[in-house]
Structure 1
Amino acid sequence: MAGRGAKGAAAELRRLADRLGALTATSAPARGLFAGRPYDLGVCGGFASEPSADLIRQADVVLVVGAGLNQFTTSFGSAFGPDVHLVQVDLADRATHPRVDRHIRGDARVAAAELLAALDGHPTPAQPWGGAAARAGEGPLQHARPAGDDVTADGRLDPRSVMRRLDALLPADRLVVSDGGHFIGWANTYLELPAADSITLVGTAFQAIGLGFPSAPGVAVARPDALTVVVTGDGGGLMGIADLDTLVRSARSALVLVVNDAAYGAELHQYGSQGLDREVMVIDEVDFATVARGLGASAATVSRLEDLRAVGEWLAAGAQGTFLADLRVSPTVVAPYIREIVERTLVRR
């Protein structure tokens, strides 16, 4: 299991996993590090698909390289089985989680190379996990997620079907910049990533919303060769809306996805479920498409899946400049990671 601290050792860790017959996974910020590898489970923790999470819990040994093992990566302590042997390789002086059985202080690439050298003369398993994880080799389990409905009971879009459709539309060479909020449960699970460092989660790292638009111009300027995909909610988007202007002025190619549920979704589901006043968590629906056009971007309001045709046409025409898609999604579809937070933390209190 690799984190962002292991991004420089991606090639070595892939070879090590093949040599050991291991399954692979990453922390959320390192998604894409094992992209395309057979027997890759995708992300570990609250963003994992159910089949991936099930296999991760069955592991006897987990080698953690360059990941801090925070509460989200460990699913509040339930990501790994009770008898797992957890080995952590990290530059930290000591283990970063009490579940770690053995901590090895070292550089990820050096440690992986040493482990590969130590395996010389040992046979490579005929198949990973002695065949017990054959289903992981049949297709990427990280994509085994609910497809969603075209339209929900309230007449708004299902965010799962929207993200699945967008994932198919977008080019493979993409950089995702995600704000914080309820919607990270969709963009961070349904949008495939091509390599390590393909996603920026500043808002999630700081546990704050409103940092999606401010993060985007830097990414767009640093990698003008790739499509920058900015994902924000309506609440966080309004907080950082001034930097949409910065993005329009600086990006060669950027697609903005506003997951617009007319609410502070994370608060609505976490705290509204605890009986707090939901009225203060609701936002008047904002027409982000009109705002974007006023700043010089192209834009479309997406109320039905067929409205995504405008995004496809912009991509087909060369994806020049900035395009904003105002995705009118339903607040009734709750991301699994939010359910986990409610069940494991808020309810106990």
Structure 2
Amino acid sequence: MNPRPKKTLADLLIDYLAQLSVDFVFGIPGGAIEPLYNALALSMRNSGPRPILARHETGAAFMADGYYRQTGKLGVCCATTGPGATNLLTGVASAYENRIPLLVITAQTALSLFGKGAFQESSCTGINTVSLFGHCTRLSSLVSHPNQFEPKLINAVMTAFRSPAGPTHLSIPWDILGGPAPVDQPSYSLPALLNRDRSFDPGTLDQLVQEIVRARKSVLVVGAGCGEAVEPIATLALKLNAALVATPQGKGFVDPYHPLFRGIIGFAGHASARAALTDPDVDTVIGIGSNFSEWASNAWDEGALLNERLIHVDSDADHFARSPNARLHVHGNIAAIVAHVLDRLADARPSASSRVRPGLSAREAMGLELDEAVKSHSPAQPIKPQALMRELANLFPPSTCFLADTGNSQAWSVHYLHPRWEQGHPRGWTDARYHCAFEFASMGWAIGAAVGMALGARGEQPIVCITGDGSLLMSGQELTVAVQERLPVIFVLLNDAALGMVKHGQRRAGSEAVAFELPAIDYATYAQALGAYGQVIHALDDLRALDVPALCRRPGPTLLDVRIDAEEAPPIGMRTRVLGAER
């Protein structure tokens, strides 16, 4: 094969990804995006970024999402023109709602063919994909000339990481992507341009410190935006002797064994968390890095959260629209704000009139609740999901990262999964021990995201994906990517032959019981047919008998087909209350 005579625009794109130490581009090839795959083939031979072949474009976006969560590096996904691009939309929308920085590259037919009804045309005169992505990205733009590429790419990457973070989209026609690049080497250094903004408003910081010093008793609420500030927040809680509560989105940042932790507030949360927030002695609630959406605010709970006791600290000013009753909004880099508060409190003594009373930690209280839930369980019965969550936390090492899929997998894991932690606190977002795709809540997200996380982990951290049979039937084909890449992902399948949240939601709401049944399938055999290791788990003893260290080292995925008690109702009362109120 003759070498290409000149660097293409696609080659230049790969050079920029290499600057950012991006390892993978997740996607599916097609005619219009073939120039990018030609560049990736050359890059792969030179140990640069390489392609990961997803089975569906939505799965590619989920993988890029998981890769960012694991590494902190830009997630990159791509698709060809037309249906390839539209297939990406759900995964990109999920990343948008969860503030995940992605670079999304889609192709177009050649510029000269715009408006002529070319095969899979998605220009402004066809199915306008630039416009479609404009509704679920921070930036969506067409590159219509080679000289536009570098400034548009720089803008896209910087916008992806700028608060509010999220996906950005560039659509590049086939002839531009495969044509000669205007320069032989990148004109800019992207890493030098991506210094994080660590600014904040000094005036509101002064007010924050004054409020903390005056407070009789405080509660700290940890949200999804706390990844860069986990350690200083824990230090602040200890200094103030303040109870720690997490939203479901912030669950992965808080050690469930921490003596000040009082549980999760919001979807599938704990009575202990709401009790801590509604304690009449509490006069200050500091919500940090939370969007206070339905699931994070306990369905807009004005008694516990959204009231005049709240001080809302966030790097994303858009979130303040959800806390209009807060007595103070503090905008800026969360890590910088908390660090400066700690410095200012070094010489100040917060009020000590009312401290957190000693008693059961949230972990102990939730353990008692779990014992009560499963006390009647016998080996002859299907596995109680509550007991399954406890066993998973005990079986897997403290370094394990758990992902939970949309549906009952989320509900059971938010409430009952309390992983053991290593000594000390995590360092940031990439050390979170629990991840969900809340907000947009796409079924099947965790399956693709687990593959992306495992690629980023490089075998150094166990990755466990908790999913349901409904999600697997939507996105189970991505299991073959883990097979092909020899990734030791453990998929824990909650097999109840139903769309469980739909089924139990209908029951709670008194609705018609309809369209939730799924066929009884042996998913262990299904996994084996795909090249993975599969095993049916009928009882907890089957789970305890597993050689977990061997599964975590296995050069390929494992699927545990867990036959759970299909009649056990998940903790989804908050969600059904909201739906009932709407009706």
Q: What is the TM-score with the length of structure 2 in the denominator?
A: 0.55
Unaligned runs of 5+ residues in structure 2 are: 1-220
Secondary structure of the corresponding residue to residue 134 of structure 1: coil
Q: Which residue of 2 aligns with 1:158?
A: 384
Q: Does 67-76 or 130-139 show the bigger shift?
A: 130-139
Q: Which residue does the alignment assign to 1:60?
A: 283
Could you tell me how far apart the structure 1 residues matched to 2:317 and 2:350 are? 32
Measure the CA separation in 2 of the matches of 1:112 and 1:317: 40
Q: Aligned to 2:489, what secondary structure does the other structure show?
A: strand
In 1, the alpha carbon distance for the partners of 2:472 and 2:388 equals 19
Greater CA radius of gyration, 1 or 2?
2
* Partner SS, residue 525 of structure 2: helix
1:138 is displaced (CA, Å) by 8.4
Aligned counterpart, 1:315: 549
Change in Cα spacing, 1:318 to 1:71, as seen in structure 2 (3 Å) is closer
Q: 1:306 to 1:86 in 2, by over 3 A?
A: same
Deviations 1:221-276 (A, max 9, x none): 11131111011100111100100111233354221100111110111122344444
Question: CA, structure 1 residues 239+24, in 2 after alignment: closer, same or farther (shift >3 Å)?
Answer: same
Q: 1:29 aligns with which of 224, 242, 249?
A: 249
Deviations 1:182-239 (A, max 9, x none): 221112232234445222313x332221222222210111113111101110011110
2:299 aligned counterpart, secondary structure: helix
1:270 aligns with 2:540: no
> Is contact 1:253-1:322 (8 Å) kept?
yes
What residue is the counterpart of 1:301 in the other structure?
536
* Mapped contact 1:230–1:256 kept (Cα < 8 A): yes
Aligned to 1:73: 296
Counterpart CA distance in 2 for 1:172 and 1:340 is 30
Match of 1:102, as an amino acid?
L
Q: Aligned runs of 1:183-222 on 2, under 5 Å?
A: 183-193=409-419, 194=421, 195=426, 196-202=431-437, 204-222=438-456
Q: Answer yes or no: is the 8 Å Cα contact 1:60–1:84 preserved in 2.
A: no
Inter-partner Cα distance in structure 1 for 2:267 and 2:508: 19
Is 2:346 the counterpart of 1:120? yes
Shift of 1:317: 6.6
Q: Which residue of 1 aligns with 2:580?
A: 346
- Contact 2:300-2:306 within 8 A present in 1 as well: no
Q: Tell me the TM-score normalized by structure 1.
A: 0.88
Deviation digits for residues 41-95 of structure 1, max 9, x if unmatched? Answer: 2322233322233112223211111111111111113371686510111123351
Q: Would you say the 8 A contact 2:527–2:534 is kept in 1?
A: yes
| Structure 1 contact 46–75 (Cα < 8 Å) conserved | yes
Deviation (angstroms), 1:344: 3.7
Contact 1:232/1:258 (CA < 8 Å) preserved in 2? yes
2:235 corresponds, among 3, 7, 15, to 15
Residue 397 of structure 2 corresponds to residue 171 of structure 1: yes
Q: 2:260 pairs with 14, 34, 39, which one? A: 39
Q: How many residues are aligned here?
A: 344
Equivalent position SS for 2:402 = strand
Conserved 8 A contact 1:90-1:104: yes
Within a 5 Å distance, the mapping from 1:219-230 to structure 2 comes to 219-223=453-457, 224-230=459-465
1:233 pairs, out of 457, 468, 476, with 468
Give the secondary structure class of the aligned counterpart of 2:536: strand
Counterpart amino acid of residue 133 in structure 1: R
Bigger relative contact order, structure 1 or 2 (CA pairs below 8 A, ≥6 apart): 1
**Unpaired segments ≥5 residues, structure 1:** none
d(CA) in 2 for partners of 1:117, 1:142: 34
Deviation of residue 173 (structure 1)?
0.8
Output the CA distance in 2 between the equivalents of 1:152 and 1:50: 27
Equivalent residues of 1:254, 1:322 under 8 A apart: yes
